[in-house]
Amino acid sequence: MKIISGGQTGADRAALDAAIDCGIPHGGWCPAGRLAEDGTIDAKYQLDETVSAKYSTRTKANVRDSDVTIIFSHGELMGGSLFTKEVAERYSKPYLHIDLNQTTNPYTELTEFLSGFDKDIKLNIAGPRSSNDPKIYEAVYKVIKELISCQN
Protein backbone atom coordinates (compact mmCIF):
# COMPACT_ATOMS: atom_id res chain seq x y z
CA MET A 1 0.00 0.00 0.00
CA LYS A 2 1.09 3.55 -0.69
CA ILE A 3 -0.52 6.55 0.97
CA ILE A 4 -1.08 9.52 -1.35
CA SER A 5 -1.98 12.96 -0.07
CA GLY A 6 -1.57 16.65 -0.79
CA GLY A 7 0.25 17.63 2.39
CA GLN A 8 -2.26 20.18 3.71
CA THR A 9 -2.73 20.39 7.48
CA GLY A 10 -5.45 18.14 8.88
CA ALA A 11 -6.51 14.94 7.11
CA ASP A 12 -3.72 15.05 4.51
CA ARG A 13 -0.92 15.42 7.04
CA ALA A 14 -2.43 12.82 9.36
CA ALA A 15 -2.33 10.21 6.59
CA LEU A 16 1.24 11.07 5.63
CA ASP A 17 2.40 11.04 9.25
CA ALA A 18 0.81 7.63 9.83
CA ALA A 19 2.58 6.28 6.74
CA ILE A 20 5.94 7.72 7.85
CA ASP A 21 5.51 6.49 11.43
CA CYS A 22 4.68 2.98 10.18
CA GLY A 23 7.37 2.87 7.50
CA ILE A 24 5.14 2.46 4.47
CA PRO A 25 5.55 4.34 1.18
CA HIS A 26 3.89 7.70 0.82
CA GLY A 27 3.79 10.45 -1.78
CA GLY A 28 1.49 12.58 -3.84
CA TRP A 29 1.28 16.04 -5.28
CA CYS A 30 1.34 19.36 -3.46
CA PRO A 31 0.99 22.91 -4.79
CA ALA A 32 4.00 24.66 -6.32
CA GLY A 33 6.07 26.19 -3.55
CA ARG A 34 4.86 23.40 -1.24
CA LEU A 35 2.08 25.69 -0.02
CA ALA A 36 -0.09 24.82 2.97
CA GLU A 37 -2.09 26.87 5.42
CA ASP A 38 0.73 26.71 7.96
CA GLY A 39 3.45 27.77 5.50
CA THR A 40 5.78 25.53 3.53
CA ILE A 41 5.20 21.77 3.62
CA ASP A 42 8.17 20.08 5.31
CA ALA A 43 10.59 18.20 3.05
CA LYS A 44 10.09 15.02 5.12
CA TYR A 45 6.87 14.58 3.15
CA GLN A 46 7.91 13.02 -0.16
CA LEU A 47 5.59 15.08 -2.32
CA ASP A 48 6.05 16.33 -5.86
CA GLU A 49 5.11 19.91 -6.66
CA THR A 50 2.56 20.66 -9.34
CA VAL A 51 3.31 23.46 -11.80
CA SER A 52 0.57 25.54 -10.20
CA ALA A 53 0.16 26.89 -6.68
CA LYS A 54 -3.60 26.18 -6.92
CA TYR A 55 -4.89 23.56 -4.51
CA SER A 56 -7.31 22.33 -7.18
CA THR A 57 -4.40 21.30 -9.45
CA ARG A 58 -2.92 19.24 -6.63
CA THR A 59 -6.28 17.63 -5.87
CA LYS A 60 -6.82 16.61 -9.49
CA ALA A 61 -3.34 15.08 -9.74
CA ASN A 62 -3.72 13.07 -6.52
CA VAL A 63 -7.11 11.67 -7.55
CA ARG A 64 -5.82 10.91 -11.04
CA ASP A 65 -2.67 9.13 -9.81
CA SER A 66 -4.31 7.06 -7.06
CA ASP A 67 -6.41 3.91 -7.28
CA VAL A 68 -8.94 4.92 -4.62
CA THR A 69 -9.74 8.14 -2.74
CA ILE A 70 -10.94 8.19 0.86
CA ILE A 71 -12.44 11.46 2.06
CA PHE A 72 -12.84 11.94 5.81
CA SER A 73 -15.04 14.56 7.43
CA HIS A 74 -17.02 15.45 10.51
CA GLY A 75 -20.29 16.18 8.72
CA GLU A 76 -21.14 16.84 5.11
CA LEU A 77 -18.45 17.55 2.54
CA MET A 78 -17.61 21.19 1.86
CA GLY A 79 -14.95 23.19 0.05
CA GLY A 80 -11.91 21.24 -1.06
CA SER A 81 -13.28 17.96 0.30
CA LEU A 82 -16.42 18.31 -1.81
CA PHE A 83 -14.22 19.22 -4.79
CA THR A 84 -12.20 16.03 -4.24
CA LYS A 85 -15.41 13.96 -4.43
CA GLU A 86 -16.44 15.77 -7.63
CA VAL A 87 -13.03 15.13 -9.21
CA ALA A 88 -13.21 11.42 -8.32
CA GLU A 89 -16.64 11.25 -9.97
CA ARG A 90 -15.42 13.15 -13.04
CA TYR A 91 -12.44 10.77 -13.42
CA SER A 92 -14.65 7.71 -12.68
CA LYS A 93 -12.36 6.83 -9.78
CA PRO A 94 -13.68 4.89 -6.79
CA TYR A 95 -14.02 6.89 -3.59
CA LEU A 96 -15.47 6.58 -0.13
CA HIS A 97 -16.68 9.40 2.09
CA ILE A 98 -16.36 8.54 5.78
CA ASP A 99 -18.38 10.93 7.90
CA LEU A 100 -16.84 10.48 11.33
CA ASN A 101 -20.01 11.93 12.90
CA GLN A 102 -22.15 9.18 11.37
CA THR A 103 -20.07 6.01 11.57
CA THR A 104 -19.51 4.01 14.72
CA ASN A 105 -16.42 2.28 13.32
CA PRO A 106 -14.57 4.12 10.53
CA TYR A 107 -11.88 1.42 10.40
CA THR A 108 -14.44 -1.30 9.64
CA GLU A 109 -16.17 0.89 7.05
CA LEU A 110 -12.82 1.54 5.37
CA THR A 111 -11.60 -2.06 5.41
CA GLU A 112 -14.92 -3.36 4.05
CA PHE A 113 -14.72 -0.86 1.19
CA LEU A 114 -11.08 -1.69 0.44
CA SER A 115 -11.64 -5.47 0.55
CA GLY A 116 -12.56 -5.36 -3.13
CA PHE A 117 -9.22 -3.86 -4.14
CA ASP A 118 -5.66 -5.14 -4.51
CA LYS A 119 -3.43 -4.97 -1.41
CA ASP A 120 -0.87 -3.11 -3.56
CA ILE A 121 -2.98 0.03 -3.78
CA LYS A 122 -2.32 3.76 -4.05
CA LEU A 123 -4.71 5.22 -1.51
CA ASN A 124 -5.43 8.95 -1.72
CA ILE A 125 -6.48 10.38 1.64
CA ALA A 126 -8.33 13.69 1.72
CA GLY A 127 -10.44 15.78 4.07
CA PRO A 128 -10.58 19.17 5.74
CA ARG A 129 -7.61 21.19 6.85
CA SER A 130 -6.98 21.73 10.55
CA SER A 131 -8.34 25.28 10.60
CA ASN A 132 -11.71 24.00 9.36
CA ASP A 133 -11.77 20.92 11.60
CA PRO A 134 -9.35 20.90 14.56
CA LYS A 135 -10.22 17.26 15.41
CA ILE A 136 -9.67 15.75 11.94
CA TYR A 137 -5.92 15.14 12.27
CA GLU A 138 -6.19 12.89 15.32
CA ALA A 139 -9.18 10.96 13.91
CA VAL A 140 -7.61 10.29 10.49
CA TYR A 141 -4.21 9.44 11.97
CA LYS A 142 -5.80 6.80 14.20
CA VAL A 143 -7.82 5.18 11.37
CA ILE A 144 -4.92 5.12 8.88
CA LYS A 145 -2.50 3.77 11.47
CA GLU A 146 -4.98 1.00 12.29
CA LEU A 147 -5.45 0.29 8.57
CA ILE A 148 -1.70 -0.07 8.15
CA SER A 149 -1.68 -2.31 11.27
CA CYS A 150 1.13 -0.32 12.83
CA GLN A 151 1.85 -0.61 16.54
CA ASN A 152 4.45 2.22 16.73
Q: What is the pLDDT of residues 84-135, one digit of tens each?
A: 999 999 999 999 999 999 999 999 999 999 998 988 999 999 999 999 999 9
Number of domains in the chain: 1
Residues 35-45 have a mean pLDDT of: 95
CA triple 62-65-66, angle to 5 deg: 80
Measured CA to CA, the distance from residue 20 to residue 47 in angstroms comes to 13
> Residue 103 is part of a domain; what is its CATH number?
3.40.50.450
> Has residue 38 got a pLDDT over 60?
yes
The range of the structural domain enclosing residue 112 comes to 2-148
pLDDT tier at 151, thresholds 50, 70, 90? low
